Structure formats: C-alpha cells, structure tokens
C-alpha cells in the first residue's frame, strides 16, 4: 500500500445488455438490485432507491411508510456512459452534507452485445480527515477512538450479515 492516500475501491463486471439499458437499470432501477440489508432505515421496509436523473439531484432511499433517508447526491449525469454519485455517509454511517466521497460508474460497450461496468469509490482518505474534524463537540481521546471503534463494529456486523 502506498504511503499517502487510501487507494480507491475498484470493481468491474460485464453484463449482457447495451450500455443504454445497463445505465438505465443501474441508475433507475437501484431498488431492484441494491442489497436489501444495506439501508439507513432499519425500521421500515424499503420501497425505493432513487438517484434523481440530473447533476445536483438527490440520492436517497424511501421506505414503505414514506420516510426518506438521504445517501448523497448525483454529481455527474452523462447517460449512457458515466455517472458520478456523491456518497455522503460518514464513518458513523450517517448522512453528512459536509462529507463527500465519489463513486464513479462507467458503462462501456464491449462488442455491441455486452457492457463493461466499472466502478470506482474514491476519496476514502477523507474518512480519516473527517473523523478528526467530527469530534469537535465530544473531543476526548476516548470519544475520538470510540468513533472509529464504533464504525468498525458497524462495518463488521454489516459484513457478517
């Protein structure tokens, strides 16, 4: 691992459809494939995951009872080849408008029949900087470390489920 920034998470997968349909399903049909366990609202079942189709649009989930939880925003909207989502969930797993990491998804035609989808989640080092800033109100060594431990616990239990 390099000594400065935290490397981005990079993933790719091939799907047998056109970039147009892949883009439409990825962005417009998120509720159909987004892992069900991954919700900010454990109290009510999820009805939809919505990325508003424009730069500056909201990215959020809506539960069956109408409750909405914001995840971030749409930063770049270039159908059918590229979308950049602003993932604004901090290390406490809370939406935080002052915090932002980028998730860029590209859709490239391979042979006319299939599409290569590549995803990059970057700016992960901001979690460290943000963790340091967040503690303004409850600053103590215990509290600050507690925040990171809290995140680790959430992450571990989510990974185990």
Partner 1 sequence: MSYPTSELLALASETRATILQRLEAGPRTVGEIAQGLPVSRPAISQHLRILEQAKLVTEEYQGTRHIYRIDPTGLATLRTWLDRFWTRSLDAFAAEVERQNQTPPSHAKQRRASRP
CB of residue 43 to partner 1, shortest distance in Å: 21
Binding of partner 1 by 148 (CB under 8 A) = yes
| Inter-CA distances, 7 with 1, 91, 123, Å | 8, 17, 8
Binding of partner 1 by 40 (CB under 8 A) = no
CA distance 114 to 152: 38
Count of residues binding partner 1 (CB under 8 A)? 52
Return the C-alpha torsion angle 1, 90, 23, 112, nearest 10: 0
For residue 101, give the nearest of 79, 84, 83 by alpha carbon. Answer: 84
Among the residues of 15-125, which ranges form H helices? 19-28, 30-33
Binding of partner 1 by 156 (CB under 8 A) = yes
Binding of partner 1 by 161 (CB under 8 A) = no
Q: Smaller CB distance to partner 1: residue 17 or 41?
A: 17
Q: Smaller CB distance to partner 1: residue 14 or 56?
A: 14
The single residue listed with the structure tokens 């900087």 is 129
Q: Which residues bind partner 1 (CB under 8 A)?
A: 1, 3-7, 9, 11-17, 21-22, 25-26, 29, 32-35, 38, 91, 117, 119, 121, 124-125, 127-137, 139, 141, 144-145, 148, 151-152, 155-156, 158-159
């Amino acid at each position: 691992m390099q000594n400065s920034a935290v490397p981005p998470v990079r993933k790719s997968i091939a799907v047998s459809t056109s970039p147009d349909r892949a883009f439409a399903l990825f962005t417009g049909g998120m509720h159909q494939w987004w892992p069900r366990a991954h919700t900010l609202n454990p109290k009510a079942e999820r009805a939809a995951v919505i990325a508003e189709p424009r730069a500056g649009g909201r990215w959020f989930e809506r539960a069956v009872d109408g409750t909405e939880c914001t995840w971030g925003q749409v930063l770049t909207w270039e159908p059918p080849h590229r979308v950049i989502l602003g993932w604004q969930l901090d290390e406490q797993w809370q939406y935080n408008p002052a915090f932002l990491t980028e998730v860029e998804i590209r859709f490239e035609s391979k042979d006319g029949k299939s599409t290569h989808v590549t995803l990059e989640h970057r700016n992960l080092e901001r979690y460290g900087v943000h963790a340091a800033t967040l503690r303004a109100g409850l600053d103590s060594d215990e509290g600050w470390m507690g925040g990171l431990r809290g995140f680790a616990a959430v992450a571990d239990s989510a990974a185990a489920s």
